[in-house]
C-alpha cells in the first residue's frame, strides 16, 4: 500500500472519529456514556482486572463494542490476539497526530512523539531515539538512579510517623531519572517535577492534562532551543550533536514530551503498586531483601501481574483484517487490553496469582509488542530493579498504615495507579 493511500485512509478514519468526538466532547459525561464492555479494561478490583474482563476474554478474546457515537470499536483481551494486533504495523495505524491535523484540530493539540506516528515518520524518529536507550548509554545513569533512590530512602527514614510511598518514593524516582536522562538543567528540577505531576493530574478534570500538555511542550521548546545553542550531556544534547540536521525543534520537543509522558506515570505507578505487592506478601519481601537473584524475576512478574499500562495505543485497521478468526473491518478502532492479555489462561497458568517462581513460556506484553514496543523498557527495568530491593533492605519491617480497604486506587484511567500508600516504615 502506498504512503499516500495510507494517509488518505488514516485521514478519513481520523476525520470521522474526531468530528464525532468534537461534536460530543470528551468530558466526563462522555466517559459515562462509554459502554461497560470498554470501561471494564480500565476497572479493577484492587490489583486484579475485574472478573468481567476474564469472562469476556474466555468467550470472545476479540470482542466488538458499539460506541455511543454510532461507531464500532474492538476490545482485544487475549494474549495471542493482542500480540497479533500489536505486531501488525501493516494492518493497523496509530497515526493520531496525522488524524488530528486532517480533522482540523489545532496542531498544538497533536501529541507528536512516537506513539501517534506511523512509519515512515515513526521509523525516522524512533531511529533517533533508540540509540539513547541502549544499555551502553543507559549505564551512565546507574549511579544517578542509585543516588536518587538512596536520597529518597534517607528522606523517608528521617520522617516522623507514617510515610506516603507514592509521594516520597514512587513519584520522585522516575521524574528525577527522566530529568537526568533528558539533561534538564538542575535549576529547573522543581518546576519540571511539578510539570510532570500536573500532566497526569487526571482527577483535576479531563481537560487539565491538555493544558499541562501545551505547557509541557512549550517548556520543552525552550529547553530544545537552549540545547541547540549549547548541547549538554543528556539525551537532548546527544540528539542535537548526532542528528541535529535531521530533526527540527518541534519534533525534538515532541520526542522529549513523549519520553516524559511515556516514562513518568507508568514507572511511578509500577513502583507504587509493586511496593504494595511487597507489603501484601511478606515472604516475597524477604526473598527480595536476601537474594539478588530474585530481583529480575520479581520485576518481570510485577510488570506482568500489574500491567499498569492497561491499554496499548489505539490502533485503526488499515484494511479488513482477520484477528483470532474475527474480521475487523477497515477503519475500526482496536483497543488491546494489556492487563487482560497478560492474565490470559492460555498464556500463564494460575493467572490470578502473583508467583515469584513463575517462568512464562513467552514474554509478557506490559511494554507492548511490535514497532511501538516501549522504547524505555530497559530504563524502566533499571529503575524498578534498583527501587524494590533497596526499599526491602532499608525497611524490611514496613507495613501498611491504613486498613487495606481504605486504599484509594484510580477508578478509571489508562495507567492504573494508587492515590497514596501510607506505611509505617518500622
How far apart CA 192 and CA 198 sit, in angstroms, is 10
> In Å, how far are 85, 150, 249, 298, 308 from 79, measured between CA atoms?
10, 37, 39, 21, 16
Quote the least distance from Cβ 171 to ligand HEM, whole Å: 13
- Shorter beta-carbon distance to ligand HEM: residue 51 or 146: 146
Q: Does 259 bind ligand HEM (CB under 6 A)?
A: yes
Quote the least distance from Cβ 23 to ligand HEM, whole Å: 27
How far apart CA 425 and CA 396 sit, in angstroms, is 8
Among positions 63, 372, 394, 410, the unique one binding ligand HEM when judged by CB under 6 A: 372
Which residues are registered as beta bridge partners of 75?
63, 335
Among positions 172, 263, 331, 340, the unique one binding ligand HEM when judged by CB under 6 A: 263
Q: Does 366 bind ligand HEM (CB under 6 A)?
A: yes
Among positions 99, 114, 173, 224, the unique one binding ligand HEM when judged by CB under 6 A: 114
Q: Is 48 helix (H, G, I), strand (E, B) or coil?
A: strand
Looking only at residues 82 through 111 of this chain, which bind ligand HEM when binding is defined by CB under 6 A? 86
Quote the least distance from Cβ 302 to ligand HEM, whole Å: 9
- State the residue number with the nearest CB to ligand HEM: 376
Are 262 and 182 within 8 A, CB to CB?
no
Backbone angles phi, psi at 116, to 5 degrees: -105, 25
Q: Does 367 bind ligand HEM (CB under 6 A)?
A: yes
Q: Which three cell numbers stand for residue 46?
A: 484492587
Quote the least distance from Cβ 117 to ligand HEM, whole Å: 7
Q: Does 126 bind ligand HEM (CB under 6 A)?
A: yes
Quote the least distance from Cβ 4 to ligand HEM, whole Å: 22
Among positions 96, 298, 313, 347, the unique one binding ligand HEM when judged by CB under 6 A: 313
Among positions 56, 77, 270, 295, the unique one binding ligand HEM when judged by CB under 6 A: 270
Region from 10-18, 204-212, 307-315, 386-394 binding ligand HEM, contact rule CB under 6 A: 307-315
How far apart CA 97 and CA 118 sit, in angstroms, is 10
How far apart CA 378 and CA 131 sit, in angstroms, is 12
Question: H-helix or E-strand containing 322?
Answer: strand 321-323
Question: How many beta carbons lie within 10 A of that of residue 61, not counting itself?
Answer: 24
- Shorter beta-carbon distance to ligand HEM: residue 193 or 425: 193
Quote the least distance from Cβ 362 to ligand HEM, whole Å: 16
Q: Does 379 bind ligand HEM (CB under 6 A)?
A: yes
Q: What DSSP state is assigned to residue 337?
A: B
Q: What DSSP state is assigned to residue 265?
A: H
Q: Is 20 exposed, middle or buried (0-12, 13-18, 19+ CB in 10 A)?
A: middle
Q: Does 199 bind ligand HEM (CB under 6 A)?
A: no
Regarding beta strands 333-336 and 72-76, do their DSSP bridges make them parallel or antiparallel, or are they unpaired? parallel
Q: Indicate the Cα dihedral angle 95, 101, 105, 107, nearest 10°.
A: 100
Looking only at residues 225 through 254 of this chain, which bind ligand HEM when binding is defined by CB under 6 A? none
Preceding omega of 120 cis (within 30 degrees of 0)? yes
Q: Does 266 bind ligand HEM (CB under 6 A)?
A: yes
Total residues binding ligand HEM (CB under 6 A): 28
Residues within the interface to ligand HEM (CB under 6 A): 86, 114-115, 126, 178, 258-259, 262-263, 266-267, 270, 308-309, 312-313, 338, 366-368, 370, 372-376, 379-380
Amino acid at each position: 500500500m502506498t504512503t499516500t493511500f495510507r494517509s488518505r485512509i488514516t485521514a478519513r478514519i481520523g476525520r470521522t472519529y474526531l468530528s464525532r468526538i468534537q461534536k460530543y466532547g470528551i468530558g466526563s459525561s462522555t466517559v459515562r456514556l462509554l459502554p461497560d464492555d470498554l470501561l471494564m479494561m480500565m476497572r479493577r478490583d484492587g490489583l486484579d482486572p475485574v472478573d468481567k474482563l476474564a469472562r469476556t476474554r474466555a468467550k470472545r478474546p476479540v470482542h466488538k463494542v458499539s460506541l455511543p457515537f454510532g461507531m464500532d470499536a474492538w476490545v482485544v483481551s487475549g494474549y495471542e490476539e493482542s500480540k497479533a494486533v500489536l505486531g501488525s504495523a501493516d494492518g493497523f495505524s496509530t497515526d493520531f497526530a496525522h488524524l488530528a491535523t486532517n480533522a482540523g484540530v489545532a496542531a498544538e493539540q497533536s501529541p507528536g512523539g512516537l506513539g501517534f506516528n506511523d512509519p515512515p515518520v515513526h521509523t525516522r524518529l524512533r531511529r533517533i531515539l533508540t540509540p539513547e536507550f541502549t544499555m551502553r548509554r543507559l549505564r551512565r545513569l546507574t549511579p544517578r538512579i542509585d543516588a536518587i533512590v538512596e536520597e529518597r530512602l534517607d528522606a523517608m527514614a528521617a520522617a516522623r510517623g507514617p510515610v506516603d510511598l507514592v509521594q516520597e518514593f514512587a513519584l520522585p524516582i522516575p521524574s528525577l531519572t527522566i530529568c537526568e536522562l533528558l539533561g534538564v538543567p538542575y535549576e529547573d528540577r522543581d518546576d519540571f517535577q511539578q510539570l510532570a505531576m500536573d500532566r497526569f493530574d487526571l482527577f483535576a478534570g479531563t481537560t487539565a492534562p491538555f493544558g499541562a500538555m501545551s505547557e509541557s511542550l512549550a517548556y520543552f521548546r525552550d529547553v530544545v532551543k537552549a540545547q541547540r545553542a549549547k548541547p549538554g550531556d543528556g539525551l537532548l544534547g546527544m540528539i542535537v550533536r548526532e542528528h541535529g540536521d535531521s530533526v527540527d525543534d518541534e519534533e525534538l520537543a515532541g520526542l522529549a514530551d513523549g519520553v516524559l509522558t511515556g516514562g513518568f506515570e507508568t514507572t511511578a505507578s509500577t513502583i507504587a503498586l509493586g511496593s504494595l505487592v511487597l507489603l501484601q506478601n511478606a515472604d516475597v519481601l524477604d526473598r527480595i531483601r536476601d537474594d539478588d537473584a530474585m530481583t529480575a524475576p520479581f520485576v518481570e512478574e510485577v510488570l506482568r501481574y500489574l500491567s499498569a499500562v492497561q491499554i496499548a495505543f489505539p490502533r485503526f485497521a488499515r484494511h479488513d483484517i482477520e484477528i483470532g478468526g474475527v474480521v475487523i473491518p477497515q477503519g475500526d478502532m482496536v483497543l488491546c487490553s494489556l492487563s487482560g492479555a497478560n492474565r490470559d489462561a492460555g498464556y500463564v497458568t494460575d493467572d490470578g496469582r502473583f508467583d515469584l517462581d513463575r517462568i512464562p513460556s513467552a514474554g509478557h506484553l506490559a511494554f507492548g509488542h511490535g514497532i511501538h514496543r516501549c522504547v524505555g523498557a530497559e530504563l524502566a527495568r533499571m529503575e524498578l530493579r534498583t527501587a524494590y530491593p533497596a526499599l526491602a533492605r532499608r525497611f524490611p519491617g514496613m507495613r501498611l498504615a491504613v486498613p487495606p480497604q481504605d486504599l484509594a486506587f484510580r477508578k478509571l484511567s489508562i495507567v492504573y495507579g494508587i492515590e497514596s500508600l501510607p506505611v509505617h516504615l518500622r
